[in-house]
């Protein structure tokens, strides 16, 4: 008999605890007759614009000869890229940078004894911006083929962008707002009340990360340019009145 009474008391305690926990959750999101909720809008997308940069150079004791070599390599690079399907209009060659290289000299016992002129170094960079993402991405991996033509091209990693970002942001805000509204309705139903009018809405920071990456969100917003496949997300914090 005592065991049965204990079991009954224990069961009642569990039910009461569940009620109190549920009420605590509702009270947490209900503040002075209001419901505060945060909704999330999220979508995966593929970049539709690629920007790829690289550089090449020439070094010679004679400035004129260094420039001749640079121009020769520039022609080889242009011919190579156009043969791969890149139009000349997409090839943007930046201004040539010139630097005098100096060599430091040391005595046999390791003492510094001065420096001497070691030649002119010329560097020029190239930028390609294109909506043909796959083609430029492929070329960026194959550019080492220029070594067979005597040209050393220093390639940087492509950067990926999305030209319809404004439309995507509006879509994410809509999704986040709808998600928050549904949450608010569920909470009001659970608390036995009725959702009132929307009193305020605050948008969070727009975040763009690589798909399936371990990138962290930042307070100022994350804007990934390293990944072609990306994930966009944004939050909306809504405050509703409760009837």
Output 220-226 pairs: Cβ under 8 A, ≥24 positions apart: 225/159, 225/160, 225/161, 226/157, 226/159, 226/160
pLDDT at 217: 80
For residue 120, CA distances in Å to 12, 63, 64, 76, 189 come to 88, 6, 9, 21, 77
Q: Are strands 195-203 and 229-242 parallel, antiparallel or unpaired?
A: antiparallel
46, 176 Cβ separation under 8 angstroms: no
38, 116 Cβ separation under 8 angstroms: no
DSSP string, 110-171: S-EEEEEEEEEEEEEEEEEEES-HHHHHHHHHHGGGGGGGT--EEEPPPEEE-TTHHHHHHH
pLDDT at 26: 45
pLDDT at 21: 43
Residue tagged 């909306």 (tokens)? 236
Distance CA(169)–CA(187), nearest Å, equals 27
pLDDT at 13: 42
Distance CA(52)–CA(60), nearest Å, equals 28
- Domains delineated in the chain: 29-46+163-242 (3.30.110.170), 50-159 (3.30.70.2970)
> Nearest 5°: CA angle at 177, between 174 and 179?
110
User: What spatial distance separates the first Cα and last Cα of the chain, rounded to whole Å?
Assistant: 47
Distance CA(183)–CA(195), nearest Å, equals 11
Task: Provide the token pair at 16.
Answer: 């009461």
What is the DSSP secondary structure assignment for residue 89, as one 8-state letter?
A: G
pTM of the model: 0.79
For residue 184, CA distances in Å to 192, 205, 237 come to 12, 21, 11
pLDDT at 11: 47
pLDDT at 32: 57
- For 212, phi then psi, to 5°, come to 60, 25
- Give the mean pLDDT per block of 10 residues along the chain (243 residues): 46 44 45 84 96 97 96 97 95 96 86 87 97 96 94 96 95 96 91 87 94 83 94 96 86
Residue tagged 């549904």 (tokens)? 182
Helix or strand (DSSP H, E) at 185: helix 165-190
């Amino acid at each position: 008999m005592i065991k049965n009474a204990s079991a009954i008391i224990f069961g009642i305690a569990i039910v009461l605890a569940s009620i109190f926990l549920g009420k605590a959750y509702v009270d947490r999101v209900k503040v002075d007759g209001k419901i505060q909720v945060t909704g999330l809008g999220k979508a995966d997308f593929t970049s539709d614009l690629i920007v790829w940069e690289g550089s090449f150079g020439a070094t010679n004791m004679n400035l004129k000869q260094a420039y001749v070599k640079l121009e020769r390599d520039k022609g080889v690079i242009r011919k190579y890229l156009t043969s791969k399907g890149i139009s000349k209009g997409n090839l943007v060659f930046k201004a040539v940078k010139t630097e005098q290289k100096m060599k430091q000299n040391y005595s046999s016992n390791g003492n510094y004894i001065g420096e001497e002129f070691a030649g002119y170094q010329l560097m020029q960079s190239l930028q390609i911006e294109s909506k043909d993402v796959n083609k430029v991405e492929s070329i960026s991996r194959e550019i080492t083929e220029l070594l067979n033509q005597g040209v050393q091209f220093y390639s940087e990693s492509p950067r990926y962008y999305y030209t319809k970002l404004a439309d995507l942001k509006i879509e994410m805000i809509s999704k986040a707002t709808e998600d928050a509204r549904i949450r608010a309705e569920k909470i009001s139903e659970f608390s036995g009340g009725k959702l009132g009018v929307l009193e305020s809405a605050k948008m969070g920071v727009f975040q763009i990360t690589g798909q399936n990456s371990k990138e962290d969100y930042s307070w100022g917003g994350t804007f990934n340019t390293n990944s072609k496949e990306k994930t966009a997300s944004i939050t909306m914090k809504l405050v509703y009145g409760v009837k």
